[in-house]
Amino acid sequence: MQDKLLGERKTRQHLTRLGFHFLFVGGFAMLGGALRGFNLLLVLAGLMVGALLTQWRWTRRSLEAIQISPAIPADIFANRAFTLRYRLTNASNWMPGWMLRVEQSIKLEQKGDQGRVATGVAVLRPNSSRWINCEATLTRRGRYQLGPTRLMTCFPFSLLEANREHGKGQELVVYPELFPLRRTWRQQLESRGGGTSATQRRNGPTEGDFFGLREWQNGDSPKWIHWRTSARLNELAVRQFEHQRRLSTCLLVDTWTGQENDENSIEEAISLAASLLTGLLSAPNDQLILAIAHTKSDTTGSIGIDRGRKRMLEMLSDADACQKPDWGTAIRQVQGQTGSPKELLVISSRSLSDFQARQPESARMMRQWMRRGSIRWVDVTTDLGQWVAEERRSSNKKHEETDFPTRRTYPARPILASKLDQSDRTNSTTLGVARESETQRTPIAINGGQEEIEHG
């Protein structure tokens, strides 16, 4: 009853390869001793059976006394390392846990790709708790399903491997990859042609935060005069203020795909939108409206709050490519959010002329922005370099020369990327990663591959 309440399952055990060999030798000794009357063979067989029974009892009791509590990070971005933490608690009063291994499966719901993460600890003392970490990198955005946490051990003789599952599966949302933006990206948004409007926010008579003092100029307000400094310098000095700017942006993401462009272009458009979104919402004064034109268009707005940021990133994570996005619904939703036509920044994987040729009806709905010249169309196939820093493109070229999966090879890349030291690169797997903090190293299997971890 207690196991059901905790979401745990029964401990399962099976013979290892060494265990099969051990059992074969023990059975041969028992049979030979019984047929030939050799007492020494019977004694040997009894010792081997005793070792198996000791292994079975030890592994079972040690796993039943240990509880696992996983801790998942709040924000996870594609191609960015994150840390999964597991808290192991040993409730036994006298039995320590030795050579413990923790595994958890990760499955991408949309495509069905699957991988595993693994970590371990050398010893867990009685009546103690310990945190162990596992660093992983997911290379695709979307919704993942985390399986139950599995605790495993084969101590002390490696004749039997026991495993016990804890908890239930849970959903994990991986946000799009974030690009390093150029230093001038905000200036491009503040410009009139950048697709946004920049407005000054007045803070009472000061019109901003205090910046410094300067000499009096014609047109300055007398209430800005700093009389104490003016008396000391024997000339008028006025206070200088830094104007507070607030960006009001309408961001529309086009998820169109066709025969000419590949899935990489869609991912670049979504990643650029996520990068701009994260940068804008880092300032509490900026306002942002996000709309996504795909099969089922969606729109949301935010004023720099965490809840709105999470909602927008989840929308970008769930966005799917389609051949004919529903622009009509997306535009009507944008107008409903703003109340009146405003400046618009469109991020797409095609040019504006191609959009007008393929979807003339949707293009006619955009005439109100085009007549005012308040729309900016960003084609990621040609304009990505205007927003993304050079270090990102040079980093991609560097990765193409290594064994690690890169964003440029999206159709063939795994959902879990390996992250090993230079000395371990020959043992890198294409389906998983695990890293820990102890010095002892043990090989583990990850979906058929071999990889080394450090016990933590």
CATH of the domain at 124: 2.60.40.10
Q: What is the 3-state secondary structure (H, E, C) of the chain?
A: CHHHHCCCCCCEEEECHHHHHHHHHHHHHHHHHHHHCCHHHHHHHHHHHHHHHHHHHHHHHHHHCEEEEEECCCCCECCCCEEEEEEEEECCCCCCEEEEEEEEEEEECCCCCEEEEEEEEEEECCCEEEEEEEEECECCCEEEEECCEEEEECCCCCCEEEEEEECCCEEEEEECCCCCECCCHHHHHHCHHHCEEEEEECCHHHCCEEEEEEECCCCCCHHHECHHHHHHHCCCEEEEEECEEEEEEEEEEECECCCCCCHHHHHHHHHHHHHHHHHHHCCCCCEEEEEEECCCCEEEEECCCHHHHHHHHHHHHHCCCECCCCHHHHHHHHHHHHCCCCCEEEEECCCHHHHHHHCHHHHHHCHHHHHHCCEEEEEHHHHHHHCECHHHHHHHHHHCCCCCCCHHHHHHCCCECCCCCHHHHHHCCCCEECCCCCCCEEEEEECCEEEEEECC
What was the pLDDT predicted at 357?
87
What was the pLDDT predicted at 339?
57
Domains: count for the chain: 4
Whether residues 324 and 370 share a domain: the answer is: yes
Whether residues 159 and 289 share a domain: the answer is: no
What was the pLDDT predicted at 283?
65
Residue 167 lies in a domain: yes
What was the pLDDT predicted at 33?
87
What was the pLDDT predicted at 401?
38
Residue 395 lies in a domain: no
Residue 397 lies in a domain: no
What was the pLDDT predicted at 394?
46
What was the pLDDT predicted at 421?
33
What was the pLDDT predicted at 175?
94
How far is Cα 29 from Cα 272, in angstroms, rounded to an integer? 69
Q: Which domain holds residue 237?
A: 209-242
Whether residues 232 and 266 share a domain: the answer is: no
Whether residues 382 and 443 share a domain: the answer is: no
How far is Cα 102 from Cα 120, in angstroms, rounded to an integer? 6
pLDDT tens for each residue of the chain, 456 residues long: 444 444 456 889 989 999 999 989 988 888 888 888 888 888 988 999 899 999 999 999 999 999 999 999 989 999 999 999 999 999 999 999 999 999 999 988 777 678 888 999 999 999 999 999 999 999 899 999 999 999 999 999 989 999 999 888 888 999 999 999 988 888 887 765 443 344 434 433 445 556 578 888 887 888 888 888 888 888 888 887 655 555 577 888 988 887 655 778 889 999 999 999 888 877 666 677 888 887 777 777 665 567 788 888 999 998 888 888 888 888 887 777 665 546 788 999 888 888 888 888 888 888 777 777 778 889 998 888 889 987 554 445 444 333 333 333 333 344 554 343 333 333 333 233 333 333 333 332 333 333 333 333
Whether residues 226 and 261 share a domain: the answer is: no
Whether residues 192 and 331 share a domain: the answer is: yes
Whether residues 129 and 74 share a domain: the answer is: yes
Residue 407 lies in a domain: no
Whether residues 140 and 257 share a domain: the answer is: no
Whether residues 220 and 134 share a domain: the answer is: no
What was the pLDDT predicted at 413?
41
What was the pLDDT predicted at 400?
39
pTM: 0.72
Residue 445 lies in a domain: yes
What was the pLDDT predicted at 443?
30
* Cα-Cα end-to-end distance for the chain: 32
- CATH number, domain with residue 330: 3.40.50
Whether residues 236 and 258 share a domain: the answer is: no
Whether residues 195 and 327 share a domain: the answer is: yes
Residue 400 lies in a domain: no
Residue 423 lies in a domain: no
What was the pLDDT predicted at 210?
64
Whether residues 136 and 109 share a domain: the answer is: yes
